[in-house]
Every structure is written in C-alpha cells, then in structure tokens.
Amino acid sequence: MEQHGEDPSSLIDIFCRKSKGRASKGKREISISAQESRGRLIADRLGLTVRHVWREVGSASRFSTRKLRNEQDAALAALERRETGALWVFRLDRWDRRGAGAILRIIEPEDGKPRRLLFDNGDPDNPGIGLDSSNPHDRKELIRRAEDAREETEILSERVRNTKTHQRANGEWVNHSAPYGLKVVLVEKEDEDGDTIVERKLALDETPADDSTSPKRTKAEVAFDITYALPVNKGFSDRATAEHLNDREIPSPSGGTWAHATVRDMIRNPAYAGWQTTGRQDGKSRRILYRDAAGNRVSVMHGPALLTDDQQQEAQAARQGEAGIGVPKDGRTHTTRASHLLTGILKCAGCGGSMSFSGNSYMCWKPKAGKPCPAPAVAATKSLEEFVHWRWWVRLTNAEPDDDLVVAVADRWAERVQPQATEDSRAAMEALNIAEKRLARVWADRKAGHYDGPSEQYFRADLKEVTDTVNEAKQALESSTARRGVDIGFLMDPESCEGAWEAADKPLRRALLHLAIDSVTVTKAPYRGAPFKGLERTRFKWADGAED
C-alpha cells in the first residue's frame, strides 16, 4: 500500500491482470510489472498518488468457482466506495460479467461525487490514456466495449459448457484420461451435413498390465478381474482384491500400489458397462451415470464394453457390506465375510472402536489385540442379539409410513433389490441439484445488479434456459425414482416382519438389521457378571440419523 493523503480525488489505484495462457498461441501478454510501470507513469502525468496496486493472474473465465476474479472486484468496489478517486486499468477486453453495469456505477454514481476510470491506449512505445470516463466523448465507447467484453466472456464460457454437454449427450468421452482398462480412441464419422468429424470414444485397453506372474495379461483383462471375476467368482472383498493385485506387482492407475478405494470406485463406475458418466458436485471423485435431457443412458464405447449391465450389477451386489474372501496365505484362505449377526454394527463406548465376536460374547477388539481401552465393553452374544433384534422390530413396526426412518429403510432396500434403479435415481438427483444451483445463480446475479442497464436484455433468455433445464431434470428424476415398485410394508406389520425374520438366514438377517440400524454403542458392565440391561447399556444410531 502506498503512502497517501486523505482526499480521494488525489488518489489513484492501478489494476494489472495477466492470464495463465499458453505462449504457443502466438500472442504474448505484457507482464504485470510492465503494466504497473505504465500505470504509474500515467499517475505521475496526472499528478495523482498511487494508493494501491491490484494484481491478478488467472483464467479469463468468469464462470469458474475456483478462480474468482477477487482482485478486479475489490478494485472496482474501492472505486465505487470512493476510497480512491481513480482507477487505471491496462485493458478492457476482459471485463467482468456486469459489463456496462459496472461502468455505469462509476460514471454515474448515486452520490454524485466524481470517480474516474482510465484505460491504457495500448501503444507500446508511447504510453497514454486511451479512454477516460471523465471525458463525455469516451463514455459511450466505454459502455460499448465493456458490454462487448462481457458478452464475449459469456459466449466463450457458454460455448465451452454447451460443447461438453453436447459431447456427453453424443456419447463422447470428455475427460482427459480413461478409466483403468479402457483407453481413449478417436473415431471418424460423418455428421448430418456429410462432413467428417472426429469423436473421442472409449475402447478396451489391450496394452500389457505388467503382471509379474503373467506378462501377456492386458489392462482390460485385469480390469475385468477387478470389476467382476474376483468379487463374483472368488468372493474377494475390495481390500482382498487390492492385496491380490499388489502381490502380483501390477501397477495401479497412478503407477503405484492399489488401494481398496480404487477397487470400490471401479466396481461402481458405469463406464465399464459402456455408459457415459459425469462427475459429482459435492467434492467427491466418484463417477456417476450420465443421463441426457430425455432421461436416457448414453453409450460411450467404440466396440464392446468390458461388462454387461447384468455383470456389473452382480459385482455390485457381491460386494455389498464389504463381504468376501481374503487372499490365500500359506495355502489357506481366510474369509472376510461376516459370520455373526451383529458384526459391523457394534461399537465400544469406551474407545469408539468396533466390537468383535469372541467365544460366547461380543467384546471390544482392543484388549485382545494388546491395545488399551479405558472401558472395554463385553456383552453376552445371546442377550445382545435378542435385544438388538427386539429394538429393531419395535422401531419398524411402530413407525408411520411417512417417518424419516421408513424413507431411509426404503432407500436401502431399493439399493439391495433394485441397484440399477437406485443408481439411476442418484444420477437424476445429481442432475437436478446442478440445475437448481444454476437457477439460483441467475437470480442471485439479478439481485446483485449484474443484469442492470444494457445487460437486462440477457436476463429473460438466461432465466428461461436454466428453468427449462430444471424442469427436464425433475421429469427425469420422477421417471427414475428408485423406490417405485419397492414395497417394505412387510417390515411394518408385526406378524409379517417377524415371519420374514424367522424365514431369513443369517446373512439376510444381518442385512435386514442394517436397513434400519447404523450402529449400536455398548457400554461396559457395572461389574463382572452383571445381568445385561439393554436399555441402560446401549445407544442406537438409526438410518434416519436419530439416536436413542
């Protein structure tokens, strides 16, 4: 910050901006320091004191939420608040979305006090003022060029969005890289005008996987094992599959070792069944199924897909609950499939860790492993299992049809019996969330004044576009609702609920408990040999988030 006096009319700010562009485009931008030097020269000529230099380096797009042009906004805000009497800017060709609206606030301020916006003349040899808002002859040109710059920015951003939307709907792979076991191929085809165009598609990757035990195995073959053969035919869990791949020294997609999360995401990825995907908007990396405006899935493959839909659903069902078999050790296989009713549900109140089955009891796992727990919980198997089943039965059979717990149970039951419908519903919900955020952004821009003045003509078109997108997304969601046709009434009737429990084997009983119960935390008994009092020693966390 420069030293300055109190009168804003004697002060000037300098705004310098440079894009992170590629030098290969044939255009070289003037540096930040060179822009600042030109601005200071103009300030000296005008007899003004430089108050602050705003510097910004980044993307030209105004639509990136990660690269907001905070410095430009702050520089304009300082001028509007009259913290400075003037602002010098090197170029007007990358103005913000407000366009003429931003200019009008400065040249026609509400308080009537003068503010001055200056732009460089662009002459590399003789720096000077190209446009000056205090000059009446320059005002019209400033408004025109600001509006042109705003329109150019919007058109460029919209063109990028529209291109990617069209490519996804057309079955083209828009991501930079392909999922492991697949590769990006360029396919030539004729469009409706008879012109030859090139599309990016996915195909099976037949390059070697560098399997130390089988050098001829391809990445596509390894991907098939991961996404189908190992979980379905051998019952491997995600962790066991990762361990199996690491034992064979097969490089992961990143070139390092395999992680169970990578295996999980591959089994869930719709691209392996040949379908277009899109990314989530909540910060997670998982790819979800893409649907076009009509709600249809879109093929992205050139040639056969790695899996059929049935195979992918079978693999997803096989790994539910992280069940499976571990990698053979010393000639023996160890199962990772839960064999006791409450495995995966129980937690120790003393340390927050899990409780495992041992002998005739469930107990905190830490003492047996030689690790400390301040109050290790232990409960007799029969008493604890009977109590948990009773609480589950009472809670479900006394619930109303519109209870949050019933909705959560229906969702989980649908995911079990209709996995594809559930995945479709999630994708449709994701599309609706994105569309509603775009609609909210348009109204927020309207409220912030970004559509004021000459920009008003663009508001109705933008509003109609995003509103139509929201309506299309709602229709797609309605047609793909996962709970349609899923009946959990048998769990809400006391007799049918108990009948279903009695008829179920242990894996199904465990699955039924997991529909409604997230966890059961057990406290340590008050003394050795104390009778089990479930209501005093347990705390349930239910699928709707409630705890009691």
Opening angle at CA 533, ends 530 and 536, nearest 5? 115
CA end-to-end distance (rounded Å), the chain: 58
Helix (H, G, I), strand (E, B) or coil at 325: strand
How far apart CA 159 and CA 162 sit, in angstroms, is: 5
Q: Say which amino acid occupies 203.
A: A
- Taking the C-alpha atoms of residue 290 and residue 167, their distance in angstroms, rounded to an integer, is 12
Structural contact between residues 142 and 116, judged by C-beta atoms closer than 8 angstroms: no
User: How are the residues of the chain apportioned to helix, strand and coil, as percentages rounded to the nearest 5?
Assistant: 45, 15, 40
Question: Using CA atoms, how far apart are residues 307 and 273, in angstroms rounded to an integer?
Answer: 5
Decide: 309 and 323 in contact? Cβ < 8 Å: no
Q: Is 337 left (phi over 0), alpha (psi -120 to 50) or beta?
A: beta
Q: Concatenate the DSSP letters of all residues of 52-100 into one string.
A: EEEEEEE-S-S--TTS--HHHHHHHHHHHTTSSSEEEES-STT--TTTH
The CA distance from 225 to 222, in Å, is 5
Could you write out the DSSP letters of every residue in 344-392?
TTEEETTTS-BEEEETTEEEEHHHHTT---SS--EEEHHHHHHHHHHHH
Distances (CA, A) of 358 to 55, 152, 303, 380: 65, 69, 52, 10
489 CB neighbour count, 10 Å cutoff:
10
pTM, full prediction? 0.46
Residue-wise pLDDT for 175-202, tens only, equals 888 999 999 999 988 766 677 788 899 9
* pLDDT, tens only, 433-491: 788 888 888 888 888 887 877 778 778 888 888 888 888 877 776 665 544 556 788 88
Residue 510 phi/psi, 5° resolution? -60, -40
Tokens linked to 451? 């559509």
Question: 187 φ, ψ to 5°?
Answer: -115, 125
Eight-class DSSP state of 180: T
The Cα 325–Cα 319 span in angstroms is: 10
- Find, among 240, 250, 246, 242, the residue nearest to 207 by Cα: 250
* Residue pair 236/193 in contact by the 8 Å Cβ criterion: no
Give the integer Cα–Cα distance in Å for 422 and 534: 35
Cα–Cα nearest to 383, from 497, 509, 525, 495? 525
Q: How far is CA 348 from the centre of its chain?
A: 33
Could you give the maximum distance between any two Cα atoms of the chain, in Å? 95
Q: Is the dihedral of CA 391, 394, 399, 401 positive or negative?
A: positive
Distance CA 511, CA 82 (A): 66
H-run or E-run covering 115: none
99 residue type, one letter: G
Token code pair at residue 422 = 């559930």
Q: What is the pLDDT of residues 388-428, one digit of tens each?
A: 999 999 999 998 888 889 888 988 887 777 666 666 666 77
Local confidence pLDDT in tens for the 548 residues of the chain = 444 456 888 999 999 887 654 443 334 567 888 899 999 999 999 999 999 999 887 644 433 333 445 788 888 888 888 899 999 998 765 555 555 666 777 777 778 787 898 989 888 888 899 889 888 888 878 877 776 666 665 555 555 566 677 788 888 998 888 999 999 999 988 766 677 788 899 999 999 999 988 889 999 999 999 999 999 888 888 888 999 999 899 999 988 899 888 998 999 899 999 999 986 544 344 678 888 777 788 999 999 999 998 899 888 877 764 444 444 444 444 444 556 899 889 999 999 888 988 888 999 988 887 889 999 999 999 999 999 999 999 999 998 888 889 888 988 887 777 666 666 666 777 777 788 888 888 888 888 887 877 778 778 888 888 888 888 877 776 665 544 556 788 888 888 899 889 988 888 898 899 999 999 999 999 998 899 999 999 999 999 999 99
φ/ψ region of 189 (left if φ > 0, alpha if ψ in -120 to 50, else beta) reads beta
Give dist(CA 310, CA 274) in Å, integer: 12
Tokens of 487: 């009946």
What does the alpha-carbon distance between residue 33 and residue 44 come to, in Å, rounded to a whole number? 16
Rounded-to-integer distance, Cα 79 and Cα 11, Å: 10
Structure tokens at 415: 């995911």
Classified as helix, coil or strand, 156 is helix
Angle at which helix 260-268 crosses helix 309-318, to 10 degrees, equals 140
CA–chain centroid gap for 58, Å, is 23
